[in-house]
């Protein structure tokens, strides 16, 4: 706990880290308390208020159905953040533990499983995601499991590479000499030494999952209308950009500020931990 607190302090000490964590914190607070803050019902349709520009009654204007854009933008990130907030730690946990175990075990099983990892990573993410969603539907549970699985696969490579720098050290040999099993060595000896790398990887995966979730909604395979969602709002406003650009601007800014905040925080976290983030990037 003390090490984590120190790492957080070093991250906050960097301007980019403080800015990034601040942006993320604002989005989290808005997602939690948005139902108490929104001025209108996000589903109420008012034909007389279609494409109203920003004004006193509607600060960010209204969309093609007369719905308040501020209300829908404040609520639009809740589903994406909820799904990805669950999927990200699951992806890092299973991918990280499997990668560490492979780095420790080596041999034929490592070679075989890594070829499977390479095969999964060679396919475009959108095709993999759409195959599952078309088969099982776009429910929140399906999206969570799908994101956790496919974004956990590249974590295996990162964790395995990080573990390779640890398994040759003397304390691993000492643990084996004491008769510790592979599971105990993974959890007690290797995991604490690659934790920082996994934390940085988790932040990166979160930002990519958010983009993937919004992209699926934009394509019509994520959140179903009329539920407020940033990706869905951007998709709905495509045909009205020329006459009502504000209908797309608000969700675009909301999504971009959250992604920017996560990436700034991840960069600062990596620097605070003494890691080269560029070396960990695996799409």
Q: One digit per residue, pLDDT tens: the chain, 283 residues?
A: 445 668 888 888 999 999 999 999 999 999 999 999 998 999 989 888 899 999 998 999 999 999 999 999 999 999 999 999 999 999 999 999 999 999 988 889 999 999 999 999 998 988 999 999 989 988 999 999 999 999 999 999 999 999 988 887 888 888 888 888 778 888 888 888 899 899 999 999 999 999 999 999 999 898 888 899 999 999 999 888 888 888 899 999 999 999 999 999 999 999 988 886 555 544 4
User: Is 87 among the domain residues?
Assistant: yes
At residue 117, the pLDDT reads: 94
> Which of 53, 32, 69 is closest to 232 using CA atoms?
69
Would you say residue 5 lies in a domain? no
In a domain, 192, yes or no: yes
What is the model's pLDDT at position 70? Answer: 95
The boundaries of the domain holding residue 239 are 27-40+58-280
Q: Is residue 166 part of a domain?
A: yes
**What's the rounded Cα separation, in Å, for the pair 10 and 202?**
18
Residue 22 located in a structural domain: no
* Residue in the block written with tokens 């560490």: 100
pLDDT at position 199 is: 92
Domain with residue 152: its CATH number is 1.10.3720.10
139 lies in some domain? yes
CA angle 60–21–270, rounded 5-degree value:
135
150 in any annotated domain: yes
Q: How far is CA 66 from the centre of its chain?
A: 31
The count of structural domains within the chain is 1
Residue 181: predicted pLDDT: 79
pLDDT at 278: 54
Q: Is 4 a domain residue?
A: no
Which residue in 233, 270, 282 sits closest to 255, CA to CA?
233
- pLDDT of res. 266: 93
Q: Show the DSSP H helices in the chain as ranges.
A: 2-13, 15-37, 69-76, 78-105, 107-122, 125-136, 140-150, 153-167, 170-177, 182-185, 191-219, 230-236, 246-272
């Amino acid at each position: 706990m003390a090490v984590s607190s120190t790492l957080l302090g070093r991250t906050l000490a960097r301007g980019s880290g403080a800015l990034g964590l601040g942006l993320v914190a604002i989005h989290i607070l808005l997602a939690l308390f948005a139902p108490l803050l929104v001025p209108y019902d996000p589903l109420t349709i008012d034909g007389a208020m279609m494409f109203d520009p920003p004004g006193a009654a509607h600060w960010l204007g209204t969309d093609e159905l007369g719905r308040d854009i501020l209300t829908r933008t404040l609520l639009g990130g809740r589903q994406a953040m909820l799904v990805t907030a669950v999927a990200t730690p699951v992806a890092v946990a299973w991918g990280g533990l499997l990668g560490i175990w492979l780095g420790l075990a080596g041999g034929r099983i490592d070679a075989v499983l890594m070829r499977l990892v390479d095969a999964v990573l060679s396919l475009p993410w959108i095709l993999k995601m759409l195959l599952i969603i078309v088969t099982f539907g776009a429910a929140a549970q399906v999206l969570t499991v799908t994101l956790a699985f496919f974004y956990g696969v590249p974590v295996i490579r990162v964790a395995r590479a990080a573990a390779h720098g640890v398994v040759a050290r003397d304390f691993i040999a000492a643990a084996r000499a004491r008769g510790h099993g592979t599971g105990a060595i993974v959890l007690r000896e290797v995991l604490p030494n690659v934790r920082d790398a996994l934390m940085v990887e988790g932040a990166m995966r979160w930002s990519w999952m958010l983009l993937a979730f919004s992209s699926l909604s934009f394509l019509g395979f994520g959140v179903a209308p009329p539920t407020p969602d940033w990706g869905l709002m951007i998709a709905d406003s495509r045909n009205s950009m020329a006459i009502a650009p504000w209908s797309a601007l608000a969700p675009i800014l909301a999504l971009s500020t959250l992604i920017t905040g996560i990436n700034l925080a991840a960069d600062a976290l990596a620097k605070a931990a003494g890691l080269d983030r560029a070396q960990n990037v695996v799409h």
